Amino acid sequence: MAEAAASLDFAIARIDLAGCTEKADALERIARGLSFPGWFGGNWDALADCLGDLSWLLAPGYMLLIANSGAWRAAQPEEFDTLVAILNEAALEWRERNVAFWALLPLAAEAMKALENAIEPPPDSEASYSGP
pTM: 0.79
Amino acid at 101: F
Give the tens place of pLDDT for each residue, 64-122: 999 999 889 989 999 999 999 999 999 999 999 999 999 998 866 666 666 566 655 55
Q: Is 66 domain-assigned?
A: yes
Residues ≥6 apart with Cβ < 8 Å to 102: 1, 5, 61, 62, 63, 64, 91
Whether residue 107 lies inside any domain: the answer is yes
The answer to whether residue 126 is domain-embedded is no
Q: Is there a domain that residue 131 lies in?
A: no
Helices (H), 77-128: 77-96, 109-118
Look at the chain and report how many structural domains it folds into: 1
Q: What is the pLDDT of residues 36-52, one digit of tens each?
A: 999 999 999 999 999 99
| Residue 66 domain boundaries | 2-118
Query: Is 10 exposed, middle or buried (CB count within 10 Å of its CB: 0-12, 13-18, 19+)?
Result: buried
CATH number where 68 lies: 3.30.370.10
In a domain, 114, yes or no: yes
Whether 20 is in a domain gets the answer yes
In terms of Cα–Cα distance, which of 18, 17, 12 is closest to 30?
Answer: 17
* Within-domain flag for 44: yes
Tell me: the pLDDT tens digits for 15-29?
Answer: 999 999 899 999 999
